[in-house]
Structure 1
Amino acid sequence: MILGMNFFYFLNWFFAFSIFGYILECIVLSMENRRLVLDRGFVHGPFCIIYSFGALGAYLFLKPLAGNLVLLYFASMALATTMELVTAHVMIRLFGSFWWDYSKKRFNYKGIICLESSIGWGFLGIFFFYALDKFVHGVVGLIPPQAGMVLGVGLLTYYIVDFTVCLAKNRREKNNPESEERVGRLRVL
């Protein structure tokens, strides 16, 4: 059991947030660029795994604050901004770059974090506890246990294989002096 959920239910819950994160990223970036933006994650599938870890962090650390909107807002803002900062530094160490750029936004730190996004993370934390988590539990709860097991294992297997392939490709590109410097896989249509 993880967070009171059986392992396969948890896997599906975890990946649902990754998919929602991917959708959120594509919507926000499409609005900012005024064109359709796809491929926001490191892998080829519709996953932004940092949102899964954000949901997990919120569930673990912020649940006691869910009854106090003001505390929840500021704690969500701090937790998500810290996660973004730490994730960027890990990605820089692993890949030589990170997959977003706030350098054109006001009140940013090295393009890694910015006030605008931090404000948004606070609202997302409230939305998580008052709507999104309940919705995801409702959807995942509709999956029959056997199908949930197959789906959970399938998603995990797909993600691990795709991540490994993308990591190998990234390392090859990083070692190729002719490849362009880039931040993530951003495709604007």
Structure 2
Amino acid sequence: MSIYFILLYFFVYGFLGWCTEVGFAAFKTHHFVNRGFLNGPICPIYGVGVTAVITILTPYKSDIIVLYILSVVLVTVLEGVTGWAMDKIFHNKWWDYSDMPLNIGGYVCLLFSIVWGFACLFIIYFIQPLVHDLLAFIPTIVGIILIIILGITLIADLYVTASTIFKFNRRLAAMEKIAAEMHEISEQIGQEIFEKTIRAMDRQEASKEKLATATDEFKEKMQDTASGLKEKTQGTAFELKERAMDARERSQEINEELRSRIASLHARYHESTDKPGRISRRLMNAFPKMESRQHKESLEVLKKRWKR
């Protein structure tokens, strides 16, 4: 089988796979959802998977049992490797079969592998002969031009999508950093309230002790003049009042600074969750079970906010 036909098969089955995903999503949600990883009407994993099945397994076409078993194994390996690679590259899990029985890491599961096996049989015995005859009618030069145009478009689409995902991950990281700063400020406020409460309790205990001491001194020093006692009391009261005012001023300054920081962080956080890009929103709609490995909570916030 020539490289020419392999490349054409890739684009044809990538498009047919995209149509299958869109049709399945429309059946489930009753509206159009672009279920492809890329923006264009193509699912590369279908193109690679079906082309690999056709290229590698056609020699086993005469034995349907062997063909089926090998198809199940091949598509399972391809889906598992693709899911794992995309997870490691983009730090996001794009589909998840964890709720399905007999799954491996959520990337593959027995039920879908069995279904893909039957789909491969249908393609090899019924679809592939039609596709090959159709492509054989296309003049070779036209086919080459189509491959070049579609290849360039695919690479550009892949670049734009990958750039968007990396930018999206940076947004999630920024949201998480802001949330951590807000949590730190909350901890500071809580710590200050705690310290103020402890200081107030200490002052209360100290006041009780001073009152008891003053009472004892008053009893022991009855000979002190009334004017001297009044002057001493006024001096002490003035000193305490000044200390209280200084403490209130410092507390107000700290509170104003914390409020200003919280307001600034809240505005930045809101800005990070606002105005989703078209591609980012499309990817979240296409992969509703997408899970961020590093910023899970931030991704859940965006999912809820962008659904509004």
TM-score range, shorter chain: 0.7 to 0.9
Question: Partners in 1 of 2:25 and 2:170 — Cα distance?
Answer: 29
Question: Partners in 2 of 1:113 and 1:23 — Cα distance?
Answer: 21
Structure 2 residue aligned with 1:11: 7
Residue 20 in 1 paired to residue 16 in 2? yes
Q: Hey, which of these two has a bigger chunk of helix by percent?
A: 2
Distance 1:183 1:93, change over 3 A: farther
State percent identity of aligned pairs: 30
Distance 1:184 1:84, change over 3 A: farther
Distance 1:51 1:35, change over 3 A: same
Question: Partners in 2 of 1:62 and 1:99 — Cα distance?
Answer: 28
Distance 1:182 1:38, change over 3 A: closer
**Partner amino acid, structure 2, of 1:136:** V
Question: Partners in 2 of 1:98 and 1:73 — Cα distance?
Answer: 28
Residue 75 in 1 paired to residue 70 in 2? yes
Q: Do the aligned residues in 2 keep the contact of 1:42 with 1:48 (CA within 8 Å)?
A: yes
Q: TM-score, normalised by structure 2?
A: 0.54
Alignment of 1:38-117 (within 5 A): 38-117=33-112
Stretches (4+) displaced over 4 A: 179-185
Q: TM-score, normalised by structure 1?
A: 0.85
Question: Partners in 2 of 1:106 and 1:35 — Cα distance?
Answer: 27
Shift of 1:82: 1.0
SS in 1 for 2:92: coil
CA root-mean-square deviation: 2.5
Q: Do the aligned residues in 2 keep the contact of 1:97 with 1:183 (CA within 8 Å)?
A: no
**Most deviating of 97-106 and 112-121:** 97-106
**Partner amino acid, structure 2, of 1:113:** V
Shift of 1:106: 3.3
Question: Partners in 1 of 2:112 and 2:283 — Cα distance?
Answer: 18
Larger Rg computed on CA atoms: 2
RCO comparison, higher one (Cα < 8 Å, 6+) = 1
SS in 2 for 1:45: coil
Which consecutive unaligned segments of at least 5 residues does structure 2 have?
A: 176-271, 274-279, 289-308
Alignment of 1:143-162 (within 5 A): 143-162=138-157
Structure 1 residue aligned with 2:296: none
Shift of 1:182: 9.3
Shift of 1:54: 1.0
